[in-house]
Amino acid sequence: MNRIPERIFLTGFMGAGKTTIGRILAGRFKYIFIDLDIYIEKKERKTVSDIFSKFGEAHFRDLEQKYLNELTGWKNVVIALGGGTITGLDVVDKIKSSGVLVFIDVALETIMERVKRNKRRPLLLDGNGNLKTDEILESELKELLDRRRRFYQMAHITVIQTAGKAAKTHAEKLVPKIEQLGTSF
């Protein structure tokens, strides 16, 4: 029987269910669960929205990489990455060499439904702090998803979330795939 990888990273677009599935997997493997965005908020004592608005996206991405580097040294951990954490080959390679990378793929329509529930997401607001229209939001999310997809697809494992299936079902399907990869990292 293969051993479980020491680090499991979940990637995918915002609203993909990384946190929900990550918590389930962490419970199943008896691992620590870390949501990278929440980890950053605790370390910086600021919300992601505040960091974006006060310092800009580039500063947030620098912080994200700093804390990702810190977490790649942890063991027995499931880490839900931010939707934009993986935006370069160097980051993908670093993550894949230190653990198993799982891409949670979700339809754009589902993403739209989910992200609109959280009014704190920086990408939902225009330059004046007002909510964007559905048409503008959908267009921007599609363009961003299309740009990021090639990096997401470099993951060791891809799970496609289908409407109507519970996160627990998706997480349970991942367990044997993760165990099959073992500790080859």
Residue type, 11: T
Classify 7-175 by CATH class: alpha beta
**pLDDT tens digits, residue range 158-167?**
998 776 678 8
**148 φ, ψ to 5°?**
-85, -25
Domains of the chain, residue spans: 7-175
Residue type, 32: I
The pLDDT of 124-149, averaged and rounded, is 85
Please say if the pLDDT value at position 56 is more than 60. Answer: yes
**pLDDT tens digits, residue range 103-118?**
999 999 888 888 777 7
Residue among 96, 91, 102, 89 at smallest CA distance from 150: 89
Residue whose entry in the numeric block shows the structure tokens 């919300």: 47
Which pLDDT score is estimated for 59? 95
